[in-house]
């Protein structure tokens, strides 16, 4: 039986979700999707980048990930709206719930896209294109936003197909369609080909995906090592990865934050690291895992980045322990240069059993620390994340739960936003 895989991608997700919410819940008379608009962070807090843009904004060459300053230089009248991740999370869940009505095999690839294995569903939903249009129309009618659906026999080709002409379209890319639908595209359009790889390929005369598909794999390996063979396979439509309904286990846990001001003293930096240790360790405990490796990363005011890691004597998920070792790494790493961004990252994941090697000279009561963390987690789950705060954060500009999605991005006070 021929495999049938859908890749379903929300068109301009954050902007679409914001537009739909404003129209249907706030009475907006204008649709952000039809204006030169974008969702962007707060420049005053140094989160000033474009998170999503409208299709009309594309003609000004505004790109996701660029700074708001750069975007405004390209288009001074660009309309910016603040991000609202709580809204986006609700929209994403509603989107996934509809997809699961059509198949039990749904792999959420990101907040706004998913793969769906539709193999063997013809008797339920008809031919693949008909089923895809049914899904597309249901999402548009029930949730108010549009999606693109790519159809093929594997995930790679389905994803490539969904990136064809937008918005609100269904495209197929069966293996027999590769020569005239995919090969003429620029090599930079191929999944897994970044800017640096594209430069190397075009510099070697490989300008289209077709050029790449017909290149000598040995030459590509000499140019790009193992990555060259991988993208050669992709250019020829090869992909054997299955749709994974269950998310794979995390290989690492981490969090980082861009601080609204430059940090110039170690005590403030250690406070930020404590906030990061709080959020990272809470995630570890929620997943019932411990970590053996911890790393600290620093981005300075001039955007230089340095990092340092160490292997712990015992795997842990205790907040105080993670913070202690993060501070040890920080002290070894920091040279006094003003800091813009700090991060804690962990790896070498172990299960939640405490197999601590005893040390006669270590008098720390780890059992007491674990019970304290468990109590704090329980209180925060029941009464909210801000219900318990360490005294060190009182009166400080540092968030006691640092990292991840910053507070100003989690929700929006629409009473302070002009809705047109």
For residue range 305-338, what is the model confidence (pLDDT) as tens digits? 999 999 998 999 999 999 999 999 999 999 999 9
20 CB neighbour count, 10 Å cutoff: 20
* H/E stretch holding 363: none
Strands 170-172 and 147-152, how do they pair?
A: parallel
Query: Which region among 91-100, 127-136, 353-362, 391-400 has the lowest average model confidence (pLDDT)?
Result: 353-362
Rg (CA), the chain: 24
Q: What is the pLDDT of residues 145-196, one digit of tens each?
A: 999 999 999 999 999 999 999 999 999 999 999 999 999 999 999 999 999 9
Say if residue 53's pLDDT is above 60. yes
Catalytic residues: 113
Q: Which residues pair with 297 in a beta bridge?
A: 307, 343
Q: What is the mean pLDDT of residues 60-80?
A: 90
Strands 339-351 and 252-263, how do they pair?
A: antiparallel
What confidence score (pLDDT) does residue 403 get?
Answer: 82
In the chain, the percentage of residues whose pLDDT exceeds 70 is 97
How many CA atoms lie within 13 Å of 320's alpha carbon, on the beta-carbon side? 13
What confidence score (pLDDT) does residue 407 get?
Answer: 72
Query: Which region among 94-108, 164-178, 352-366 has the lowest average model confidence (pLDDT)?
Result: 352-366
- Full set of structural domains in the chain with CATH: 1-172 (3.30.70.270), 183-235 (1.10.150.20), 252-409 (3.30.1490.100)
Say what the pTM is: 0.85
User: How far are the Cα atoms of 125, 136, 282, 353, 375 from residue 378, in angstroms, in the given order?
Assistant: 45, 41, 11, 19, 5
CB 250 within 8 A of CB 238: no
More confident residue, 196 or 353: 196
Q: What is the pLDDT of residues 31-49, one digit of tens each?
A: 999 999 999 876 555 557 8
What confidence score (pLDDT) does residue 44 get?
Answer: 57
CA gap 110, 119 in Å, rounded: 22
The dihedral sign for the CA sequence 350, 356, 359, 364 = positive
Q: What is the mean pLDDT of the chain?
A: 92
The dihedral sign for the CA sequence 161, 164, 166, 169 = negative
């Amino acid at each position: 039986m021929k495999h049938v895989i859908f890749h379903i991608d929300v068109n301009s997700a954050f902007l679409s979700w914001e537009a739909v919410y404003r129209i249907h819940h706030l009475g907006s008379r204008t649709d952000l999707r039809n204006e030169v608009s974008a969702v962007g962070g707060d420049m005053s807090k140094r989160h000033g980048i474009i998170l999503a843009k409208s299709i009309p904004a594309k003609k000004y060459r505004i790109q996701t990930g660029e700074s708001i300053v750069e975007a405004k230089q390209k288009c001074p009248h660009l309309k910016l709206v603040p991000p609202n991740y709580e809204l986006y999370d609700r929209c994403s869940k509603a989107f996934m719930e509809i997809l699961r009505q059509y198949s039990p095999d749904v792999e959420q690839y990101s907040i706004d896209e998913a793969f769906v294995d539709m193999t063997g569903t013809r008797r339920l939903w008809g031919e693949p294109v008909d089923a895809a249009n049914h899904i597309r129309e249901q999402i548009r009618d029930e949730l108010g936003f549009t999606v693109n659906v790519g159809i093929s026999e594997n995930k790679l080709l389905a994803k490539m197909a969904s990136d064809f002409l937008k918005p609100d379209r269904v495209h197929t890319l069966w293996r027999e369609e590769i020569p005239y639908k995919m090969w003429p595209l620029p090599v930079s359009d191929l999944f897994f080909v970044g800017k640096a790889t594209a430069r190397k390929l075009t510099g070697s005369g490989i300008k289209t995906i077709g050029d790449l598909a017909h290149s000598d794999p040995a030459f590509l390996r000499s140019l790009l090592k193992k990555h060259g063979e991988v993208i050669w396979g992709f250019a020829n439509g090869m992909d054997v990865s299955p749709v994974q309904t269950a998310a794979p286990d995390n290989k690492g846990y981490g969090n980082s934050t861009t601080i609204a001001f430059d940090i110039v003293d170690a005590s403030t930096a250690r406070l930020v690291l404590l906030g990061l240790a709080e959020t990272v360790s809470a995630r570890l405990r929620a997943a019932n895992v411990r970590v053996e490796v911890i790393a600290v990363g620093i981005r300075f005011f001039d955007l230089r980045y340095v990092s340092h890691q160490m292997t712990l004597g015992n795997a842990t998920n205790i907040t105080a322990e993670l913070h202690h070792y993060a501070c040890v790494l920080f002290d070894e790493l920091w040279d006094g240069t003003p800091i813009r961004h700090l991060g804690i990252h962990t790896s070498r994941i172990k299960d939640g059993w405490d197999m601590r090697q005893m040390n006669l000279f270590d008098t720390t009561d780890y059992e007491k620390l674990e019970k304290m963390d468990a109590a704090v987690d329980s209180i925060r789950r029941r009464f909210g994340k801000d219900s318990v705060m360490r005294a060190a954060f009182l009166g400080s500009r540092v968030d006691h739960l640092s990292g991840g999605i910053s507070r100003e991005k989690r929700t929006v006070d629409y009473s302070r936003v002009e809705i047109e």
